[in-house]
Structure 1
Amino acid sequence: MATMVRTEPQITTMIRDLLKVEPEKHDLAWIKKSLQAAIALELSTIPPYLCALWSIKKDGTDAGQRIQGIALDEMFHLGLACNMLSAVGGKPDIIAAVPKYPTKLPGNVRNTFDVYLSGLTKDYLRKVFMEIEMPLHPVALAESWETIGVFYDAILTAIKKEKPPIGTGPQMQGTIGRNKLTKFTKLSEIEDAIKVIKEQGEGTGQMPDDPGQDRAHYYKFGEIYYGRKLKQVNGSWKWEGDPVPFPEVYPMAALKDKSGVWPDPRPEAKPLIKNFNAKYSEMLQLLHKAWANGDTKAYGTGIGMMFELGPIAVSLMKISLKGDDKHAYGPEFRYVP
């Protein structure tokens, strides 16, 4: 496969800058830039969630099922954002959207904390995952733009105003977890998709349930953190339901080095790290090619490669750090052109 050169669109500031633009100037170019920023935002959450999932030693735990479902939801949201951009005549640039960890969430979303890679711990749950999915979390440093939901609403309002032809570019389709990715052919379908993205992540704003009576992401993470299911007690939602046991995990260390790489890894870890990054990069290139060219074969191959990453990550998590027997390596999720 031909090497793709990564561009640098400065996604980190893009949402903030886009939301400073007066609504009457939210033209088609603004819509396309905003949807590209949304792609970066959705993509940035997936690797941390996968690290936590793969660090769980036993399959089928309550915690693992929750995290797996959330990771698949985020993959679905990424697909929706790509399909929306393509549907209005844009070109999704997945390579440009790839984050380097540790990072701030793209667009100054809750920029008071860093998103890094780690195995599952309660500290990671509370300080990263529950912050990412916090209901009504701020998107930009502008008082009138307060949530990711408001950002998506602004995109929808702009699409309604500009009325671009829907369905003009290549789109992908298929089942991703509990969700079915389909092609957009009319405005009402985009409206429904944005509603799903908002409610699966943030919740409705009034209740911690989405339309399918399933907990929104913040509340699912909270159930793992507090060790109890959420339930209504005297009209209020509290973490006082049935137990959600914290699972046994591999002790993947928190990769917080600004370089984004493990410093001087053990010899047995080096080929695994290299192999993981190579497969991850190829997967991203295939997904980029899928939306660029309408290549459904590349899409299917890319999705399949995603499932090849888990065993490599687990193998890394079984190798202790050099000079630290209490913690282990894990994937870097580093894009290598």
Structure 2
Amino acid sequence: MSLHRITDLAGLHRHLHAAMQLEHATIPPYLTALYSIMPGTNTEAFDIIRAVAVEEMLHLTLVGNLLNAVGGTPDLTVHGFVASYPAMLPDGEEDFAVDCQRFSPEAISTFLRIERPADLDHGEKGGRTITRKKARGTVKAGHVGPETEEHFFSIGEFYKAIEDGLDRLHADMGEALFCGNPASQIGPEYYYSGGGGLIAVTDLASAKAALDLIAEQGEGVTDTIFDEDGEIAHYYRFQQLLLGRYYRAGDARDKPTGGPVPVDWKAVYPIKTNARLDDFTKGSDLREAALEFNSTYAIFLARLTCAFQGAPEEFIPAVGDMFHIKELFHRLMRQSIRGTEGLNGAPTFEIDRLKDDPE
């Protein structure tokens, strides 16, 4: 998906499609680390990662509402929407790739790169968006464009570009920019976590409120640890796990002074990083569980797509899908992979392979 400065409605739609893909691209790595934690251990870490994953689902929904509001059509089922891990993020950060791996210091370090504030090492980047050739392994969405695209240092800068584009187009088009059907908005009454800040987007003010909420929850544009509601940003939530201590009000960045955060890095299932179906023997329970996982996850994405495309009540059965997905995580992660030395299975998220080569 080629991303250039937003000057027209089609460009805004491309950026918002990429934003939905970006929000989703964080969920498989977060869930993989989360469910690799052995039950009854690392309760603090489990709560931190789970809370962030839930908020990423909120962000995905907010972007879907925004795309609907400006006349776009959210679709989480297009070929290439689900990343093939390891993958680079759709906003073009080139200095790291994202893996689906067990809970570990390496996983948390990657999560910190995903959620890094816009001003972190910003002087090194010059504070500017640059354009260069597409990096190998970059996540692609369903509509691939030319071989150059925007690259941002942080997710926050990417969303700032979207906000600037909204302002630019609104100055040209006025309220006609928000031409979508209000009935396609996902309201708090349908959202599985009971709302949690879910915003229906109908005009410029609500569009900016949705983008601000994403930023405040830690995706890169603020220089504070806590937002105005006292919630800690994602970057600093994860950082607590490496620093071994909670942040509290008044703390300086990188210097938490709260209570200890106990972490047992060994209390995890030894899952294979970036597992593939071909790692599992055909006919084995492990392979069957992986196939069932991919099928269930595809249904989950299809239900979300239906919800975004005018059937918000589909969010309700999606809740049941998530419970089944959790069970399949555990079924995979508790089984060793035949022919390996001490490695267990894990979801493969090969959704496109499910479509192209069903078994």
TM-score by structure 2 length? 0.79
Measured after TM superposition, the shift of residue 213 of structure 1 is: 1.3
Is the Cα–Cα contact under 8 Å of residues 192 and 319 in structure 2 kept in the other structure?
Answer: no
Please list, as runs of the form range in 1=range in 2, the aligned pairs for 1:9-158 lying within 5 A after superposition.
Answer: 11=1, 14=2, 17-18=3-4, 21=5, 26-58=7-39, 61-96=43-78, 97-109=81-93, 111-126=94-109, 128-136=110-118, 141-142=130-131, 146-158=153-165
Moved more, 56-65 or 74-83: 56-65
Please list, as runs of the form range in 1=range in 2, the aligned pairs for 1:172-187 lying within 5 A after superposition.
Answer: 172-174=186-188, 175-177=191-193, 179-187=196-204
Q: Where does structure 2 lack aligned partners over 5 or more consecutive residues? A: 132-149, 171-175
Identity of aligned residues (%): 31
**What SS does structure 2 have at the residue aligned with 1:313?**
helix
Is the Cα–Cα contact under 8 Å of residues 69 and 180 in structure 2 kept in the other structure?
Answer: yes
Please list, as runs of the form range in 1=range in 2, the aligned pairs for 1:1-337 lying within 5 A after superposition.
Answer: 11=1, 14=2, 17-18=3-4, 21=5, 26-58=7-39, 61-96=43-78, 97-109=81-93, 111-126=94-109, 128-136=110-118, 141-142=130-131, 146-163=153-170, 164-166=176-178, 168-169=180-181, 170-174=184-188, 175-177=191-193, 179-202=196-219, 205-231=222-248, 237-247=254-264, 248-255=267-274, 260-265=276-281, 267-292=284-309, 294-335=310-351, 336-337=354-355
**What SS does structure 2 have at the residue aligned with 1:243?**
coil
Structure 1: distance between partners of 2:114 and 2:99: 12
Q: Where does structure 1 lack aligned partners over 5 or more consecutive residues? A: 1-10
Structure 2: distance between partners of 1:56 and 1:180: 28
Is the Cα–Cα contact under 8 Å of residues 251 and 257 in structure 2 kept in the other structure?
Answer: no
Measured after TM superposition, the shift of residue 307 of structure 1 is: 2.2
Is the Cα–Cα contact under 8 Å of residues 203 and 210 in structure 1 kept in the other structure?
Answer: no
**Residues 1:236 and 1:156: Cα distance change in structure 2 (over 3 Å):** closer
Measured after TM superposition, the shift of residue 240 of structure 1 is: 4.4
Structure 2: distance between partners of 1:285 and 1:205: 34
Structure 1: distance between partners of 2:325 and 2:187: 22
Measured after TM superposition, the shift of residue 325 of structure 1 is: 4.6
**RMSD over aligned Cα atoms:** 2.6
Measured after TM superposition, the shift of residue 233 of structure 1 is: 8.3
Structure 2: distance between partners of 1:140 and 1:204: 14
The size of the alignment, in residue pairs, is 312
TM-score by structure 1 length? 0.84
Deviations 1:213-244 (A, max 9, x none): 12111111111122222357885641443111
**What SS does structure 1 have at the residue aligned with 2:91?**
helix
**Residues 1:107 and 1:146: Cα distance change in structure 2 (over 3 Å):** closer
**Residues 1:244 and 1:333: Cα distance change in structure 2 (over 3 Å):** same
Structure 1: distance between partners of 2:326 and 2:156: 31
Aligned residue number for residue 142 of structure 2: none
Structure 2: distance between partners of 1:197 and 1:305: 25
Give the partner amino acid of 1:120: F
**What SS does structure 2 have at the residue aligned with 1:118?**
coil
**Residues 1:299 and 1:232: Cα distance change in structure 2 (over 3 Å):** closer
**Residues 1:180 and 1:265: Cα distance change in structure 2 (over 3 Å):** farther
